[in-house]
A and B are shown apart, each in its own frame.
Chain A
Amino acid sequence: MIITKKKDFQELYENIKGYKSFFLLGCSECATLCGTGGEPELKEMKEALESLGREVTGTFVAKTGCQVLGTKVELKPFKEAIDKAECIIVLSCGAGTQTAVELYEDKPVYPANDSMFLGNMTRLQMFDERCSLCGKCILDKTGGICPLTTCPKGLLHGPCGGMKDGHCEVSPELQCAWVRIYERMKRLNKLDELRNLMMEPKEWSQSQKPRRQYEKKEKTKK
């Protein structure tokens, strides 16, 4: 899921202090799981704004905030509340925020969160980055552990000289990704495969921004 954290309220407030009324939009997916954009956070934001003498014309937790069409339909019943608000604050990821920007061309929209990474939730609200969406997955070659993401240098052929007792040069709290890959391949009896592997240089063209995926449309065109 997309991992978000709340912006410092003061930082947000600096952006919005000129407005008197707000509509608050959350998201029931990642932001809810991260505790940054569910019902409790909307309520907290509403109270904070009201205590500063601002009006909150309405709040809504979208089902999937990054789904533009679905969110548009869901928000129809809130037309009046949104019209009344001078400004929209979105409590989800940057994608959800930009859904609102697309839907409300004439209204200022501000993010309440910082979007950080695609993460695995390991325990309640503890997240680790394991995939950085590089566009061409190499997990098939590295025992299912991603060195591009879990090694801070994204190395492709083995540990660097900074590895110490199995830990990473960059932070002793991190295990060295390449020691993990090596150990796993050993356990799976695939060390020869790993030894013989000469990885081609990464095709960064696969992750050129902004990325698009229009497969269905292209298929129907043909």
Chain B
Amino acid sequence: MTFREKLESGKFVITAEAGPPKGTDISEMVHHIELLRGKVDAINITDNQSAVMRMNSLSGCVICLQYGVEPVLQMTCRDRNRIGLQSDLLGAYALGIRNVLCMTGDHVSAGDHKDAKPVYDIESVGLLRVVSGLNEGKDMMGNALKGKTDFFIGAVVTPEANPLEPQLMKFEKKIKAGARFFQTQAVYDMERLKEFMRFARQYPVKIIAGLVVLKSAGMANFLNTNVPGIRVPQELIDELKAAGKEKALDTGLNITARHIRQIYEEKICDGVHIMAIGMEDKVPVILERAGLI
């Protein structure tokens, strides 16, 4: 069953993430893909994440397909104008990519090419509309395509955004623009996630909860102060502290596994997306502890 079929038939999905290399040596990415093969339903391939220049997401997706895992093409609007975006989307479809996650993309000032010209010709909502159009066989200008796409269209949402209301407005616009599934920014507070889901469940879209493993109390504090839209509750920070330095990572893995279990058992969301950020090799352990493999 494909990622889309699974989600649309109400089955719980598990996805993970892989970043293309900075360079042409794909051995590490391939290693991660192979580790995850058979354990996840799809792998997101990031698009010059944090505006740091790397191999493009499209090539990463093709490599992912070659190694037998279904990819989700992350597409940001930072580096390409509407012509470039549409043309890459057509190419992606022809190469067998079926899932696309539309994002605006981190600003160039966050990355390693700070003098680059940020494009943002269109942005996430605009891109969602473009992909919807390509699925109907039309480009942005309404010109007919010779062969249309049939992408499963995704977007991102930040349930812990502060203030939240403008973010929820944008969430609704993304749905109107054609988003069928959402991945959330990393969530840590299951009660607040449930609250967000009460709102989200009004709409016929699938929601996949984003999870990032906490390696230490220090990392949790760092996320709270520095990363927009992430809020790690104090209890979890205390739990990591109590575990001590040596056991912190193990405790972090347990926390993620526990959250996955809870999201699965209580059907809070339609799936989970594990962003391992450098700990891709730990994903199988997390899934085992969550009892999902």
Q: Which residues of A contact B (CB under 8 A)?
A: 152-166, 169-171, 178-179, 182, 194-195, 198-199, 201-202, 204
Contacts and interface: CB of A to CB of B under 8 A. Distances in A.
A158 B169 contact: yes
B177 interface: yes
Interface in B165-179: 165-167, 169-170, 172-173, 176-177
Contacts of B167: 158-159, 161, 163
Contacts of A194: 169
B123 A153 contact: yes
Nearest to B78: A153
A142 B158 CA distance: 22
B274 to A, nearest CB: 18
26 contacts: A152-B107, A152-B109, A153-B78, A153-B104, A153-B120, A154-B120, A155-B120, A155-B123, A156-B126, A157-B125, A157-B126, A157-B173, A158-B125, A158-B170, A161-B158, A161-B161, A162-B228, A163-B166, A163-B228, A164-B229, A169-B107, A169-B110, A179-B163, A202-B121, A202-B122, A204-B121
A165 B227 CA distance: 11
Contacts of B172: 195
B209 to A, nearest CB: 15
B99 interface: no
A120 to B, nearest CB: 23
B106 interface: yes
A78 to B, nearest CB: 40
Nearest to B109: A170
B185 interface: yes
Contacts of B169: 158, 182, 194-195
A166 to B, nearest CB: 6
B21 interface: no
Contacts of B185: 161
Contacts of A182: 163, 165-166, 169
A169 B185 CA distance: 15
Nearest to A191: B169
Given A152-B118, A162-B106, A169 B173 contact: no
A157 B120 CA distance: 13
Contacts of A157: 123-126, 170, 173
Secondary structure class of chain A's binding surface, majority of residues: loop
B158 A201 contact: no
B163 A166 contact: yes
Interface in B78-127: 78, 82, 104, 106-107, 109-110, 118, 120-126
A198 B170 CA distance: 10
A66 B267 CA distance: 66
B107 A164 contact: no
B158 A158 contact: no
A178 B140 CA distance: 25
A158 B176 CA distance: 14
Contacts of B163: 166, 179, 182
Contacts of A169: 106-107, 110, 228
A161 B123 contact: no
B123 A156 contact: yes
Contacts of A153: 78, 104, 107, 118, 120, 123
A208 to B, nearest CB: 13
A178 to B, nearest CB: 6
B107 A198 contact: no
B105 to A, nearest CB: 8
Contacts of B122: 201-202
Contacts of B229: 161-164
B112 to A, nearest CB: 16
Interface in B150-192: 156, 158, 161-163, 165-167, 169-170, 172-173, 176-177, 185
B177 A159 contact: no
Contact of B177 (A162, A163, A171, A198): A198
Given A159-B161, A164-B229, A195-B169, 6 more contacts: A155-B123, A157-B123, A195-B173, A198-B176, A201-B122, A201-B140
